[in-house]
Structure 1
Amino acid sequence: MGVTDKPASLFRNRAFALFWSSQSVSFLGTQITYVALPLTAVVVLSATPMEAGLLNALESLPFLLFGLFVGVLVDRRARRPILIMANLVRFAALAWIPLAYALGILTITQLLAVTFLVGVMTVFFEIAYMSYLPGFVGRDRLMEANGKLQASSSAAEVAGPGIAGGLISVISAPVVIAIDAVSYLVSALALVGMPADSAPQNDTDTEGKLSVLASLREGFAVVRHNTLLRWCTGAVFFLSLFFSSVMAVYFLFLIREAGIGSAAVGLIVAVGSGGGLVGALLSERLNTWLGTGPTLVAALALPGIGFLLLSAVDGGSLGAAVLAGVATFIGFFGIPVFDVTVISFRQSITPEHLQGRVNATVRSLSWGTLALGSLMGGALASALGLRETVVLSAAGLFVPSLFLLLSPVRAMRHLEQQPDEPAEPNPVGTR
């Protein structure tokens, strides 16, 4: 192939095409549940604001509790069997909700328990898949691969809530969750056809001899000694905290405060989630046009703008629904831009035998903080009110952008550039 030839499409890579297809099915099911699960809690089971916040928290709390240790496990085991196991358990857990509803025994406690179990399996899946992906697409095509997966996820965010809203208007929300359960089963079966892998091998052959704490320190060291990862991980803390705070009351706010119906809520989320799709599709181009640092700063400013607009939604009218959709579009646009950029960089610089721990270090912080933010949102709504919680959370969402604006990252023009900071020793040799 000549130096100017365009590389072949990633979809000609059978492993990636199969993985992308299975994930696309799973993404769609997940987005249907994203609407159906809180509506089951709010409409069917009459959840309180604190219960809604707890439900949201239990989706991500397992990352805080188990993420780092799962990262160590993923670096000592083959990744594909972990992915298959996680999807099969998620299938069984979610299938219980429509079954229990049909039997007339569904309770908010069961809903919380299923949500927590699915969250635990998501920890295993997310960390294992991020560590498995570089092995079959190549590190030089990670930005493209992550962009395609993020675009597929964002497309599901557009289609899924609209589908969920339409289905919920015909059948009940708990029954709609069965679609997500089946999507996990389909994904598990597809993963059986993926390339088999083996446990990662460390060149020094000492990995199995390290204690769990020593293994964890190796993962932390990669993040600590890379300027982009260190500063972006700090920004992720504030992004996760305030984003999950507003999302904990998002559905309650639209239904109870703004007076918008359940079916319309699904359409609002679908329209708003188009922002995530556009952001995913433009992430690589924005990095080229604006430079990495300015792209990251701008991307993290958008959620605050979007959710401040959301706080003005009122009245249940068509205009209110349109404003809610536009606000959500803006709020969701920047997050995939940030994610695709930072995740691709993290995967590309991390040695194979450290992928699980490095991904777990960042994921545990970001997703674990989602749980804290959800509880914070539920508590604020109980004490102050739904609209006040949206306003305060939106104001907090400007913090991650300001955090990066004051950091050396703002001057980066491309990912390969190291921000201008004093050199630090790197004990794991990954610079």
Structure 2
Amino acid sequence: MALTGNLFFFQVSHALFQVSLIWAVLDISGSKQTTGLLASAVYLPYLFFSLPAGIFADGRSKVSIIRWVCLLEAGIVLLIPLLHSLDNLSIRMMGIIAFILTSVAAFYNPSRDSLIPLYLPESKLLRGNTIVQVTIQIAFILGPVLAGYLIDLMGAVQVFMLIGVLFLFAFITGFLMKHPALEKDIQIQSLDMRTLTDILDTLKNDPVLIWLLIITVVDNLFIMGPAVVGMAILVREVFNGSASDWALCETFLSIGMIITSLFLMKWGRKIPLGIMLITGIIMDGLTYIPVKWASTIPLLWAIIFFHALFIPLIIVGRTTLIQKRVPHSLQGRFFSLISISVVGLTAVSTALTGLATEYIPVQDLFAYIGILAAATGGAALFYKPLRTLQNT
């Protein structure tokens, strides 16, 4: 699908942006709390704009939304090198630009995830979602690796010029995407209060979806801040590592996710969706606990690799579950709720992590959040309709 090409450039651009932004702020300010707050600016817009983005995706052409998002992001990110050349770039301004960039990006995921069922029959959804995840993880291998070496070579600010160019490539590849014929049949004609009540009615009639949202919110509140900001602080402050060392943490994370995604591509249909999702959440937490005893960066890489093996169970299982149980005409809105639960809660979690690491050793923090995240998955085991959910 042309969608995968667009997705690749989009995700590479965002991977580069995230690594470059966090490292630049940590390097300039030297403050873990400031870095946590700045990182939250990257994710906070999802709390505000994900639901409007989902409503918009259900009422407009999803392909057109994806194209415009890529073009606008190219222009926004190029403001950083422009302001730097004018000596007007500050940490506050970087935070504002990051907030605006992610506000636009919030419109991408609901359109992408609700577009997949319009291209593929239900029998191929799990495989299609797995291909999407493989594409994302390949992008997240290349993005941090490029960021790590380019930051060391030329400085974080200059890397933003390349990011802008990559967003333009995403915009160009967006024109290779065809408008699916089914899209015209399911678009809603007006965006009114019914757009909200419809999704509430769906939740009311399907408690499995309510449970899915709850465990997604709680799990990501615990896990995402340490994963994003905590890892950078750990590499820089505890191991005295470089941007390249941190980038390789992200690389090993992506390699682990690709391995499991390839497994799911071939054998995923044999695994019950409920077991896939719950196992992923439990192991997502448990595999972070060993970070407490990591003594070297290579050992940290090994722990991250093992941790990453279980993440696709969550992402692929959750996405496929939604695509199977939520009507096409509501999927943009429901995926927007997932964006709020995942990326939006990352804003809160990263801010809390930056604050917590001022008082708690970062390795201890990984152990605490690992236990809490695993307990979230453990609680889901007690809900039989989710636990026994099949893949057919």
TM-score by length of 1: 0.83
Contact kept, 8 Å, 1:86 with 1:124, in 2: the verdict is yes
Determine the C-alpha separation between the residues in 1 that align with 2:191 and 2:61: 18
Q: Which moved more, 1:160-169 or 1:247-256?
A: 160-169
Q: Which amino acid in structure 2 is aligned with residue 377 of structure 1?
A: T
Contact kept, 8 Å, 1:78 with 1:198, in 2: the verdict is no
Q: Say if 1:256 and 1:244 are closer, same or farther in 2 by CA, change over 3 A.
A: same
SS at match of 1:383: coil
Determine the C-alpha separation between the residues in 2 that align with 1:55 and 1:351: 37
Match of 2:13 among 20, 25, 29: 29
Contact kept, 8 Å, 2:50 with 2:339, in 1: the verdict is yes
Report matched runs for 1:115-134 at 5 Å: 115-134=98-117
Match of 1:53 among 13, 20, 36: 36
2:225 paired with 1:245: yes
SS at match of 1:249: helix
Task: Compute the displacement of 1:169 (Å).
Answer: 2.1
2:149 paired with 1:166: yes
Q: Which ranges in structure 1 are unaligned for 5 or more consecutive residues?
A: 1-15, 315-319, 417-431
Q: Which amino acid in structure 2 is aligned with residue 129 of structure 1?
A: R
Determine the C-alpha separation between the residues in 1 that align with 2:306 and 2:203: 29
Report matched runs for 1:29-428 at 5 Å: 29-43=13-27, 45-196=28-179, 207-208=188-189, 211-212=192-193, 214-246=194-226, 247-285=228-266, 287-314=268-295, 320-409=296-385, 411-412=387-388, 414-416=390-392
Task: Compute the displacement of 1:184 (Å).
Answer: 1.4
Q: Which amino acid in structure 2 is aligned with residue 24 of structure 1?
A: F
Percent identity at matched positions? 18
Q: Which moved more, 1:223-232 or 1:262-271?
A: 223-232
TM-score by length of 2: 0.91
Q: Which amino acid in structure 2 is aligned with residue 396 of structure 1?
A: L
Contact kept, 8 Å, 2:140 with 2:254, in 1: the verdict is yes
* Count of matched residue positions in the alignment of Structure 1 and Structure 2: 391
Task: Compute the displacement of 1:413 (Å).
Answer: 5.9
SS at match of 1:387: helix
Q: Which amino acid in structure 2 is aligned with residue 363 of structure 1?
A: S
Max radius of gyration: which structure?
1
SS at match of 2:29: coil
Determine the C-alpha separation between the residues in 1 that align with 2:82 and 2:309: 36
Q: Say if 1:55 and 1:409 are closer, same or farther in 2 by CA, change over 3 A.
A: farther
Determine the C-alpha separation between the residues in 1 that align with 2:250 and 2:231: 10
Determine the C-alpha separation between the residues in 2 that align with 1:409 and 1:258: 45
Task: Compute the displacement of 1:312 (Å).
Answer: 2.2
Q: Which amino acid in structure 1 is aligned with residue 200 of structure 2?
A: F
Q: Which amino acid in structure 2 is aligned with residue 175 of structure 1?
A: Q
Determine the C-alpha separation between the residues in 2 that align with 1:306 and 1:36: 27
Contact kept, 8 Å, 2:279 with 2:313, in 1: the verdict is no
Contact kept, 8 Å, 1:140 with 1:348, in 2: the verdict is no
Q: Which moved more, 1:19-28 or 1:223-232?
A: 223-232
Structure with the bigger percentage of helix:
2
Determine the C-alpha separation between the residues in 2 that align with 1:366 and 1:163: 25
Determine the C-alpha separation between the residues in 2 that align with 1:92 and 1:182: 9
Contact kept, 8 Å, 2:150 with 2:159, in 1: the verdict is yes
Determine the C-alpha separation between the residues in 1 that align with 2:69 and 2:281: 31
Determine the C-alpha separation between the residues in 1 that align with 2:125 and 2:30: 41
Determine the C-alpha separation between the residues in 2 that align with 1:229 and 1:368: 18
Q: Say if 1:378 and 1:198 are closer, same or farther in 2 by CA, change over 3 A.
A: farther
Q: Say if 1:156 and 1:73 are closer, same or farther in 2 by CA, change over 3 A.
A: closer
Q: Say if 1:391 and 1:101 are closer, same or farther in 2 by CA, change over 3 A.
A: farther
Residues 332-390 of structure 1 show CA distances to partners (whole Å, capped at 9, x for unaligned) of 22222211122123123332321211212222223222222122212212333433433
Q: Say if 1:34 and 1:277 are closer, same or farther in 2 by CA, change over 3 A.
A: farther
SS at match of 1:37: helix
Determine the C-alpha separation between the residues in 1 that align with 2:267 and 2:380: 17
Task: Compute the displacement of 1:304 (Å).
Answer: 2.0
Q: Say if 1:132 and 1:296 are closer, same or farther in 2 by CA, change over 3 A.
A: closer
Residues 185-241 of structure 1 show CA distances to partners (whole Å, capped at 9, x for unaligned) of 1111111232236995678x9x546732x3112123324433443322221112210
SS at match of 1:406: coil
Q: Which ranges in structure 2 are unaligned for 5 or more consecutive residues?
A: none
Q: Say if 1:219 and 1:413 are closer, same or farther in 2 by CA, change over 3 A.
A: closer
Task: Compute the displacement of 1:256 (Å).
Answer: 0.8
Contact kept, 8 Å, 2:55 with 2:191, in 1: the verdict is no
Determine the C-alpha separation between the residues in 2 that align with 1:224 and 1:182: 45
